[in-house]
């Protein structure tokens, strides 16, 4: 447990860590390329470590060189892992590797931690079965552990439910060029978290593969396209940057985050714009963004495209006048924890008046008081509520090490505000 000391105003410049989403995609594209791929500045964290360990089990060699990782791509020829793959609670690793495993000839078993064993994946398995792949939830409960029987996935027309997670679609898109025939993926219902599909299409394009996106309802991928071996630099993580912007917002300070691409397709790069709607001033630089705090007012916003910064915004809402309502966030209930429930519990513990439903949360600030915050092993609970501690004396964060999932040195960088 750590205690966060209040601060008059957060000022300074902080470097964002590299992007979790880009890093875990880059590893897979590199593995499928024919030849050496140099990834400059990949993220080093639990979720990306699980991905690298899995690649090793598929027979893909990786080696570190100062801030880079060299991946020896095998052109789509994979060994079948001898041991079960363990991915902790890394959603990207579990979902992306499930389709990747279809490219290996034998049976691959995938599992994760207790929470991962409660996170659904049936919609993706159902899609793989449409190509004749045997893909099963071992306990028949739609969740990992899984067994995937790989070997020459056919492609063709696949129908995929879009409402639970965009990671299923990304998983299929990444591997589709290596299927036997052209692939068309038809999305049933509304596709959630579309900005993450943009990340997938962006990196696939950089590696030389074209996807035709028909209004996020149908995606067409021609077979026979191949990822090009190259040097690829991973950009900064916009979700991780949100905590520092929020620190400026809630304390009235001025914070610059560097190692960020302001033109990024990451949905969370728009988070400073959300703070601007609440009253902050923002300044967009070359590879940096600055937020200057100002008196904050509550807003109503659909955050379907920015699911990973909902907790950051919910904490900022504690210090705004009026109510903040966030909609379009039903799938937060199947992430590291049920994030709507976790937010409701912890914001209420701090004295806010909270209303929550299937896919929304509404926060009305109250008389705020200190508390020990439960993080439910969710990195984003720890990082978001650390921001609350800048303004409310006596906030303690339980199990702060859970930040290792995406941002292992978060508390060191947060500490720089006190120097
Ligand atoms: O594709 C990705 O890299 C991610 C997609 C999002 O998940 P959903 O599509 O399940 O919302 C996001 O929450 C997650 O942290 C990373
Ligand atoms: C939802 C998240 O992770 P994942 O789904 O990749 O486990 C996250 O990092 O907030």
Question: Residue 330 sits in a domain of what CATH number?
Answer: 3.65.10.10
Annotated binding-site residue numbers for 3-phosphoshikimate: 20-21, 25, 165-167, 193, 308, 331, 335
Question: CA–CA separation, 234 vs 21, rounded Å?
Answer: 10
The secondary structure of residue 369, as a DSSP letter, is: -
Per the structure block, which two tokens stand in for 287? 């590879």
Q: Are 109 and 146 in contact (CB under 8 A)?
A: yes
> Is 158 found in the same domain as 61?
yes
Compute the distance between CA of residue 416 and CA of residue 325 in angstroms, rounded to an integer. Answer: 31
- Where does a domain end: 186, 220, 254? 220
Distance from C-alpha of 91 to C-alpha of 187, rounded to nearest angstrom: 20
Indicate whether 53 belongs to any domain.
Answer: yes
Encode pLDDT of 244-272 as tens digits.
999 999 999 999 999 999 999 999 999 99
Q: State which of 220, 247, 277 marks the end of a domain.
A: 220
In a domain, 211, yes or no: yes
Minimal CA–CA distance to 145: which of 179, 196, 107, 181? 107
User: Can you read off the two tokens belonging to residue 47?
Assistant: 């979720």
Residues 10 and 27 in one domain: no
Let me know if residue 271 belongs to a domain. Answer: yes
Indicate if 332 and 346 belong to the same structural domain.
yes
Tally of residues, the chain = 419
pLDDT tier at 241, thresholds 50, 70, 90 = very high
Domain contains 226? no
Give the whole-number percent of the chain exceeding pLDDT 90: 100
Does ligand 2 lie within 6 Å of residue 48's CB atom? Answer: no
Residue-wise pLDDT for 125-134, tens only, equals 999 999 999 9
The angle subtended at Cα 55 by Cα 49 and Cα 58, nearest 5°, is 150
Alpha helices by DSSP H, listed for 186-338, are: 194-206, 238-251, 271-278, 310-317
Average of pLDDT values for 22-38?
A: 98
What's the pLDDT score for residue 59?
A: 98
- Examine the domain organization and report whether 165 and 278 are in the same domain: no
- Name, in order, each residue with C-beta under 8 angstroms of 400's C-beta and a sequence gap of 6 or more: 1, 2, 375, 382, 386, 411
State the Cα–Cα distance between residues 333 and 378, nearest whole angstrom. 12
pLDDT bin (cut points 50, 70, 90) of residue 389 is very high
Residue 358 CA from chain centroid, whole number: 21
Q: Is residue 390 part of a domain?
A: yes
Q: What is the mean pLDDT of residues 409-418?
A: 97
Token readout for 186 is 């038809």
Mean per-residue pLDDT, 271-280:
98
Number of domains the chain is built from? 2
Helix and strand totals (H; E) in the chain: 12, 25
Q: Are residues 53 and 122 in the same domain?
A: yes
Share the mean pLDDT of the chain.
98
The pLDDT value recorded for residue 123 is 98
Q: Are residues 256 and 142 in the same domain?
A: no
| Average pLDDT estimate for 295-307 | 98
358 catalytically annotated:
no
For 60-84, the pLDDT digits (tens) are 999 999 999 999 999 999 999 999 9
Binding positions are 20-21, 25, 91, 119, 165-167, 193, 308, 331, 335, 339, 380, 405
Residue 227 placed within a domain: no
For ligand 2, whether the C-beta of 90 sits within 6 Å is: yes
> What's the confidence (pLDDT) of residue 404?
98
Residues 30 and 12 in one domain: no
For residue 92, name the pLDDT band (cuts at 50, 70, 90): very high
Which has the closest alpha carbon to 71: 231, 194, 181, 222?
231
Q: Are residues 272 and 195 in the same domain?
A: no
- Provide the pLDDT confidence category of residue 119 given band limits of 50, 70 and 90: very high
ipTM surpasses 0.95: yes
| Burial category of 114 from C-beta neighbours within 10 Å (exposed 0-12, middle 13-18, buried 19 and up) | exposed
230 belongs to a structural domain? no
With a 6 Å cutoff on the Cβ, whether 290 touches ligand 1 is no
For residue 89 and ligand 1, the question of a CB distance below 6 A is answered with: no
Final residue belonging to a domain, choices 193, 220, 247: 220
> Are residue 136 and residue 240 in the same domain, yes or no?
no
- b/e string for 279-318 if b means 16 or more Cβ within 10 A? ebebeeeeebbbbbbeebebbebebbbbbbbbbbbbbbbb
The alpha helices in 263-416, defined as continuous H runs, are 271-278, 310-317, 339-349, 379-389, 410-415
Residue 64 sits in the same domain as residue 196: yes
In the set 308, 359, 409, 412, the catalytic residue is 308
Tally of CA atoms within 13 A in the half-sphere of 195 that contains its CB: 19
Average pLDDT value for residue range 138-150: 98
Q: Are residues 290 and 411 in the same domain?
A: yes
Do 171 and 242 sit in the same domain of this protein?
A: no
Query: Domain range holding 203?
Result: 20-220
Q: Dump pLDDT digits (tens) for 169-228.
A: 999 999 999 999 999 999 999 999 999 999 999 999 999 999 999 999 999 999 999 999
**What is the helix (H) or strand (E) element at residue 290, kind and residue range?**
strand 288-292
Could you identify the atom of ligand 2 that is nearest to the CA of residue 378?
10
In a domain, 229, yes or no: no
């Amino acid at each position: 447990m750590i205690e966060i000391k209040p601060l008059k105003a957060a000022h300074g410049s902080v470097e964002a860590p590299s992007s979790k989403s880009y890093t875990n995609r880059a590893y897979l594209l590199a593995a499928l390329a024919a030849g050496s791929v140099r990834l400059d500045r990949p993220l080093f964290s639990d979720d990306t470590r699980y991905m690298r360990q899995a690649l090793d089990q598929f027979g893909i060699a990786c080696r570190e060189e100062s801030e880079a990782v060299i991946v020896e791509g095998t052109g789509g020829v994979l060994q079948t892992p001898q041991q079960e793959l363990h991915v902790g609670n890394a959603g990207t690793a579990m979902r992306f590797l499930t389709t990747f495993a279809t490219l290996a000839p034998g049976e691959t078993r995938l599992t994760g931690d207790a929470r991962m064993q409660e996170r659904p994946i049936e919609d993706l398995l159902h899609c793989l079965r449409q190509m004749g792949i045997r893909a099963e939830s071992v306990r028949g409960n739609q969740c990992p552990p899984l067994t995937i029987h790989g070997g020459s996935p056919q492609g063709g027309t696949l129908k995929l439910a879009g409402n639970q997670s965009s990671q299923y679609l990304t998983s299929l898109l990444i591997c589709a060029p290596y299927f036997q025939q052209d692939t068309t993926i038809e999305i049933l219902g509304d596709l959630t978290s579309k900005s993450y599909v943009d990340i997938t299409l962006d990196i696939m394009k950089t590696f030389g593969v074209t996807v035709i996106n028909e209004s996020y309802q149908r995606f067409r991928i021609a077979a026979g396209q191949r990822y090009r071996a190259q040097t690829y630099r991973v950009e900064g993580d916009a979700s991780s940057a949100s905590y520092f912007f929020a620190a400026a917002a809630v304390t009235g300070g001025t914070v610059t985050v560097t190692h960020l691409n302001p033109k990024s397709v990451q949905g969370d790069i728009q988070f400073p714009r959300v703070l601007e709607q609440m009253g902050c001033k923002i300044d967009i630089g070359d590879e940096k963004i600055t937020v200057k705090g100002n008196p904050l007012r509550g807003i109503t916003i659909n955050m379907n495209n920015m699911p990973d910064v909902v907790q950051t915004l919910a904490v900022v809402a504690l210090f705004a006048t009026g109510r903040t309502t966030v909609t379009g966030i039903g799938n937060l209930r199947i992430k590291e924890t049920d994030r709507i429930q976790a937010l409701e519990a912890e914001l209420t513990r701090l004295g806010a008046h909270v209303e929550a439903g299937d896919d929304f949360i509404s926060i009305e600030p109250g008389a705020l008081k200190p508390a020990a915050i439960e993080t439910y092993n969710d990195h984003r609970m720890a990082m978001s509520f650390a921001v609350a501690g800048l303004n409310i004396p006596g906030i303690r964060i339980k199990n702060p090490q859970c930040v290792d999932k995406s941002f292992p040195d978060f508390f060191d960088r947060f500490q720089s505000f006190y120097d």
